[in-house]
Structure formats: C-alpha cells, structure tokens
Amino acid sequence: MNPLTGIYAAASALRNSLFERRLLAIRRLERPVASVGNLSVGGAGKTPFVIALGELLKARGIRFDVLSRGYGRKTRGVRVVDPNGSASDFGDEPLLIARRLNVPVVVGESRYEAGLVAENKFQSQLHILDDGFQHRSLARDFDIVLLAERDFEDRLLPSGRLREPLSSLARADAIVLPTESAASHAAFAGKLIWRMQRRIAVPDASHAPVVFCGIARPQRFFAQVRATGIRPAFEVAFPDHHFYGPRDIEQLVAARIKHDASGFVTTEKDGVNLGPLRSQLNPLAIAALTVTLDNQADVVDTILSRIKV
C-alpha cells in the first residue's frame, strides 16, 4: 500500500473528528438542504441522480435550487449558472444540471455563500447540495450517498479512489446502490437503502463510430455503448472534466479517417465541454444517461417527511 494512503486516512479522520466536535464551524442556511454525494472520486452517477431527484421534486411542485462547487471552472467566487454559458465559467456538471432541470444552479467554493445568494435571489423551498458529502462546513438536513459496486473493494486515496472509508456511511441518511448490486442490506443496519438503475440511450448513432469521453470511468461508458448494439470503430478516453480544444478535434477527426468510422458518440457532459467545437464533429450522437429509482414515490415521501419545506 502507498504510504501516503496512511497519511491521507489520518488527515481525513482528523478532519471529520474536528467537525464532529464542532471545532470546525458548520454553518446553516435558512432553507433546508438535501445533500447528494459519494465516497469515491467520480463515477457513481451523482449528476444523473441529482437530475432524476430534481425531476421528481418538480413533479411534486417543490421549488428548489442546486448548490455546487463548479469543479474545473476557470472562474472564482459565487456565480449563478447561465444555461447558455460555458463549462469554463461554471463547470460542466452544474451547466448540464441547469440545462436539464431549468432551475437555479449556483456555484461557489463555499456552498454556504452560494446558498446565501440563492436565498436572496430565488424563492426556493429546498437546496440540493451537489457532491456534498465531504463538504461538511454546510449543515444538511438529509444526506444521500451513492455507492458504486467497486467501492466495496476499493482503497483510500491515493492507492484507490475512495475519499473516505466505508465507515463514514454512519453519517448518511440514505444509501443508494445499483439495482444489480449484491450488497446486503444487513451491511448498512439502520440506514435507508434505495436502489438505482442506470440506462443509456444513443439516439441516431451511426453504425461504427468513434466513441470518446472525458469522464471518471471511461471503460464503463464504452461498455454501455457496446451493450446498446453499437460496434465502435475506435475508442478514445480523455481526462475527467476535459475541456476540448482544436487539437482534440483534430485527433478525433484523424481517428475517424484512420479507422473508417461513420461518426462520433460521446456523453452529455462531454457535449457540454465541447462547446462550439461540437459542430466540427459530424455526425455526433449524444448518449443520454438516465437514472431510475425503485419506489420513486417512497423516496420523495421519505425526504419530505424529514425536511419541512
């Protein structure tokens, strides 16, 4: 094991202890907060889950906003996301959430400061805190944690991808597992367990495209695309949250020519990160990832029973 993992584990435990003992400040917003987070670095489906949860809340007539760090953006401070803006200004995931849900999304290094702006500008009944499990400086009223199957066998950073050990799930209210997960409910005694199914659809995809993405777990996306019946001519993985530039487009076009590919397929997040360069990849099919929760009505009822909106 990497010796740095022991140092990271000690630092993480100390930080959590300081929050538990209130030696590090935890600030509370006026409106209630529901946090969506995970234990690992990327790939658990937080963004599609936030979108799915948002759609359920909208169906109930609940007014809400989304608070996010805006990872990867080149700006600083608190900013309200403009759905017509760029990923470099707001971050790819907040921009995608704003476009899909058509609700206020506010980014900021301090989600407390972002929440203050949201409460000043909008009439929200509820804040959804995106990627919030480790952002403990903001008080939350309901903590949702998504687990990927590989989290059960993974290690802490930097040896693995876990930001916290599984024992940190003690402070979660609800744990979301993949529908196909073999994890036993007994392993999470006293916790709400929800099941989530991820589906991918690739409308209008060509028969042998170049498939590319810049996400945390590219091989899973490639496998999902192949599972739809598409046979990629070539696959290209970029770093997570990759902002595309002209050289990337040249690389992709060259790959299409070399492998006699019929077009391109990528993710919604990559479609955001392509920006105006998207028009140079033609035909380009965007794979839509959707999340379906088992017992959706019970999920919303449970959250609303714990949070008074």
Q: What is the pLDDT of residue 206?
A: 85
Alpha-carbon distance of 224 to 91, in angstroms, equals 25
Percent of the chain with pLDDT over 70: 98
CB burial readout 280-291, b (16+ within 10 A) else e: ebeebbbbebeb
Helix axes 296-306, 46-59, angle to 10 degrees: 80
Alpha-carbon distance of 157 to 4, in angstroms, equals 8
Distance of CA 293 to the CA centre of its chain: 16
Alpha-carbon distance of 184 to 172, in angstroms, equals 17
Q: Give φ, ψ of 290 to 5 degrees.
A: -120, 150
Domain boundaries, the chain: 3-196+293-306, 205-282
pTM of the entire predicted model: 0.94
The mean pLDDT values, 10 residues at a time, for the chain of 309 residues are 88 96 96 97 88 97 97 96 97 97 98 98 97 97 94 93 94 92 71 92 91 94 95 97 97 98 96 96 94 92 91
Amino acid, res. 292: T
Q: What is the pLDDT of residue 154?
A: 93
Secondary structure class of 247 (helix, strand, coil): helix
Alpha-carbon distance of 151 to 66, in angstroms, equals 26
What are the C-alpha distances in Å from 50 to residues 40, 67, 203? 17, 11, 23
Q: What is the pLDDT of residue 256?
A: 98
Q: What is the pLDDT of residue 186?
A: 63
Q: What is the pLDDT of residue 185?
A: 65
Q: How far apart are the first and last CA of the chain?
A: 46
What CATH number has the domain spanning 3-196+293-306? 3.40.50.300
